[in-house]
């Protein structure tokens, strides 16, 4: 423990230097959580990132390339939001109608607002809707996929490449957990995107409410515990919104090639984290993985915050408690002893820092062996 009286004898610059040194040493302690959590995660690759700073708190194989499946639609959506007006009307093509996989039951010739399509692809994960958006922006899906790849590289996602707007498997369609965290962090800065991915349901256009879509959504509502009113309404497939307190999104995905992928986010006490898991074995392990990672990420955040608070309490002159009544002789003695040359202060702070470092290093080694 740093003695308050000793700290009171240091000048303000020396106190600041000591605080910075201790923060540098102590900030690394929580990263040992990586060693413990590896065995609790089923996914092949994962990462936890601070939304505000982009700092990685936890990771495994975060730069390993994997198939993303429908979390691809995060890129499709943010490009559309930034480049077009939500009120624009999109014409559905035959190519979009025939897209395999999850579907909004769109038909060639359907006209639908870009706003509705974005909710349809992010909540219901409609592949046909994703293709319709791509063709609306870039004429054809291939050109749009090139735009997707260029876009993500421009924001720092260097190890991703896309060949379609929906996430259907292709050997040249891949990403990494780290890249998806970067992409998601960027997208969540957009107010509309952030609001959209928090919706559990969305009222659908009655003209496009077909029997196949209604049957599917009725089943989804029952599975997710959402009251079914019989009205045209699409259900968000992201179960995290109902499983995790403070969840703020974002998107799940699945193909046989990718297995289960999931990008989740949550806010706790004003701090938001983004977690990504790629290639988890099944839907249950994917959500268990993301919940474990978010819990551990918030634990690390709290531990770091508590450490900073403890250091500030030690260093702050407001916490230095001196005797309120001193006789004249003691006052003079204290005054004479409290004046330490700056050179000695630097030496004292350096020695104290080294001792603190050795103690913490020894402590961390003991913890890692437990």
Give the residue numbers annotated as catalytic, written as ranges: 70, 73, 125
Phi, psi of 245 (to 5 degrees): -65, 130
Measured CA to CA, the distance from residue 329 to residue 325 in angstroms comes to 12
């Amino acid at each position: 423990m740093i003695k308050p009286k000793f700290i009171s004898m240091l000048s303000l610059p020396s106190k600041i230097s000591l605080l910075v040194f201790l923060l540098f040493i102590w900030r690394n302690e929580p990263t040992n959580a990586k060693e413990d959590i590896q065995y609790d995660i089923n996914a092949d690759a994962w990462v936890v990132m601070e939304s505000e700073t982009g700092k990685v708190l936890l990771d495994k194989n975060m730069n390993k390339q994997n198939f993303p499946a429908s979390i691809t639609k995060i890129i499709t959506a943010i490009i559309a939001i930034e480049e077009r007006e939500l009120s624009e009307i999109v014409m559905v093509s035959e190519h979009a109608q025939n897209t395999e996989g999850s579907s909004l039951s769109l038909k060639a010739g359907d006209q639908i607002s870009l706003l509705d399509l974005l909710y349809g692809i992010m909540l219901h994960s409609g592949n046909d809707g994703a293709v319709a958006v791509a063709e609306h922006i870039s004429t054809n899906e291939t050109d749009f996929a090139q735009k997707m790849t260029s876009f993500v590289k421009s924001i720092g996602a260097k190890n991703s490449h896309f060949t379609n707007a929906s996430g259907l498997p292709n050997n040249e369609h891949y990403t990494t957990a780290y890249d998806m965290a970067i992409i998601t962090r960027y997208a969540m800065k957009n107010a509309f995107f952030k609001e959209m991915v928090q919706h559990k349901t969305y009222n659908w256009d009655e003209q496009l409410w077909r029997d196949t879509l209604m049957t599917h959504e009725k089943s989804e509502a029952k599975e997710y515990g959402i009251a079914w009113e019989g009205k045209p309404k699409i259900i968000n497939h992201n179960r995290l919104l109902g499983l995790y307190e403070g969840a703020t999104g974002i998107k799940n995905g699945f193909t046989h090639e990718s297995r289960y992928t999931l990008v989740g986010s949550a806010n706790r006490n004003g701090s938001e984290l983004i977690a990504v898991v790629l290639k988890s074995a099944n839907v249950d392990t994917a959500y268990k993985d993301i919940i474990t990672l978010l819990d551990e990420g918030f634990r690390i955040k709290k531990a770091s915050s508590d450490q900073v608070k403890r250091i500030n309490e030690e260093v702050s002159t407001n916490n230095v408690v001196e005797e309120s009544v001193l006789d004249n002789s003691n006052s003079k003695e204290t005054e004479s002893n409290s004046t330490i040359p700056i050179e000695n202060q630097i030496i004292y702070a350096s020695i104290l820092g080294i001792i603190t470092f050795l103690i913490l290093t020894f402590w961390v080694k003991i913890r890692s062996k437990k």
